[in-house]
Amino acid sequence: MDYSCSRRDLLVRTGAGVMAAGAGAVPVIASGTAGHKPKDEEGSQRLSLDKLRQWEALEYGLFIHFGMSTYVVNEFPDGNDPATVYAPDRLDVDQWVSVARDAGMKYAVLTTKHVAGHCLWPSKYTKYTVANSSDKTDVCEKFVEACAKRGVLPGFYYCSWDNHNRFGSQTPSDPTTSWPYWPWAEYNFNQVADEPRSPSGPMPVYTTSIYQGFQTAQITELLTQTDRFGG
């Protein structure tokens, strides 16, 4: 399967998919402004002032960080844990959204895939998903259904940092890479304290076209799969 796409295409589509909401929702990413952009902003899109005001008007919402990290007790796993490690035994997505609604929240955002690379929906682009886990519930689908039922605006968070589906790319977890712009760099993640990161400069942005195309395909899948979003 061809996953190829340009880096600009990836950034535009990834930005559009950072938060995917239901009908009538306020998109987080708006069309880019006309004119030349600085080199470090090429491929990016920014919120218009009107969209920003609409977003701010929502005021109160819930961000749900649930997934493989919950079961390996590590926010930044190496991506090598078997899919079966993800094993909720009392999963109740509707209860999450009910709590948000009862608290007066207007929206909820679900982490669909985080650093571990494990997907909370049965993606056709990787086997590292709920389809091969101990609980096979399509959490993304159940989340959207619960939001519609409870009158809460649904949103998705999709993490570009993926330690499982690498396709030859580097990630911030690699001890030989340097990413000085990462705000928690002092944590040193998965490396020994006396082995500092290379001072050679910032880590290359996810470098392989296969990696970029994989993410674009997954975001498109999340946003357009008919069974999940009703068309």
CATH architecture observed for domain 7-166+207-229: Alpha-Beta Barrel (3.20)
Residue 172: closest CA among 84, 75, 81: 75
pTM of the model: 0.71
Using CA atoms, how far apart are residues 75 and 92, in angstroms rounded to an integer? 22
User: What 3-state class would DSSP assign to 125?
Assistant: coil
Is-contact 222 156, C-beta < 8 A? yes
Q: pLDDT tens across 140-185, in order?
A: 999 999 999 999 999 999 998 899 988 877 777 776 555 444 444 4
Q: pLDDT tens across 55-97, in order?
A: 899 999 999 999 999 999 888 888 889 999 999 999 999 999 9
Average pLDDT score over residue span 215-221? 93
Using CA atoms, how far apart are residues 170 and 177, in angstroms rounded to an integer? 8
Is the per-residue pLDDT at 40 higher than 80? no
Using CA atoms, how far apart are residues 231 and 226, in angstroms rounded to an integer? 4
Using CA atoms, how far apart are residues 67 and 88, in angstroms rounded to an integer? 9
Cα torsion for 69, 72, 78, 79, to the nearest 10°? Answer: -70
The domain limits of the chain are: 7-166+207-229, 172-205
Using CA atoms, how far apart are residues 70 and 161, in angstroms rounded to an integer? 17
